[in-house]
Amino acid sequence: MKQILATIRLILVFVGSLIFVIVGLILLFICFGSPAISRFITKNWARFCLLILNIKVNFSGQAPERRVILMANHRSYIDIFLVFSRYPASIVAKKELGRWPIIGWSVRLARMILVDRSSKSSLIATMRAIKAEIDRGGGVILFPEGGIKTESLTATFKHGSFKIAQTTGTPIAPAAINYHDSKVFWGDESFLTNFYRQMGKWRTDVDFWIGEPITAESDEVLMDAVKQSIDGKLVEFESRVKKA
């Protein structure tokens, strides 16, 4: 039964995402690449996926109403749907996503910035792309741990994006994502293995919080403040789950 449910969800997400991508790219072409169209399609695609996968989101805080860099801890592919559903900005993601079916096709639609973390030149190009997006007046989403982690609290943050935030005067909105079932964490297993293991369950519960944008007098202080803010909320979430 669990495999059947996961298969149905996989098919619905695939077909639905394909429709969103096709319609979105057509609208982008007609509207000359309008960022507003991109944000509208991306947000509704993410909410569609959350609905099909029956992700029960307990959201708190406030989605940013101005240009910010949104930074969140990273535990699963579901994180992408969560952040897009509230703040559909350009997202920094690993280059492998560009080869995924549907996701790869939607790179232009979602204005993704793809990075090869093993290449120094790619990392430099990514930093330049983030700065260019901010200079154009756009927002950016990134996961400062530099990849998916399986720890309950955040791992060491990558420093470069905090320096960009500081030099461009862009506030950082901290975001915390806490799954009630830690088995949802995506470690070294394949996407399909993780999907069938988790999406065969009827429902996935997750706490999602976006805090007030943070500024600081230096990039080091900014990084520490963002990390403490996210970790503090994760501890609070985990305490609530254990009491429930």
Is residue 113 within 8 A of residue 129, CB to CB? The reply is: yes
> What is the architecture, at CATH level 2, of domain 56-188+202-243?
3-Layer(aba) Sandwich (3.40)
> What are the angstrom distances between the C-alpha of 174 and each of 49, 136, 215?
23, 22, 11
Residue 88: per-residue pLDDT: 92
Contact 34, 28 (CB under 8 A): yes
pLDDT in tens, the chain (244 residues): 899 999 999 999 999 988 998 899 899 889 888 888 988 999 999 999 999 999 999 999 999 988 899 999 999 989 999 999 999 999 887 777 666 666 666 666 777 888 876 677 777 787 888 888 888 888 899 999 988 888 889 999 988 889 889 988 899 999 999 999 888 888 788 888 989 999 999 999 999 999 999 999 999 999 999 999 999 999 999 998 887 6
CB-CB contact of 203 with 54 (8 Å): yes
| pLDDT tens by residue, 137-172 | 888 999 999 888 888 899 999 888 898 899 888 999
3-state SS, one letter per residue, for 164-183: HHHHHCCCEEEEEEEECCHH
Distances (CA, A) of 77 to 9, 69, 94: 15, 19, 12
Quote the DSSP letter at residue 159: S
In angstroms, the CA 29 to CA 232 distance is 43
**pLDDT for residue 103:** 64
Write down the pLDDT at residue 198: 92
Residue 22, both tokens: 């096709």
Considering the entire predicted model, what is its pTM?
A: 0.91
What is the chain's mean pLDDT, rounded? 89
Give the pLDDT score at 78. 93
**pLDDT given at position 43:** 94
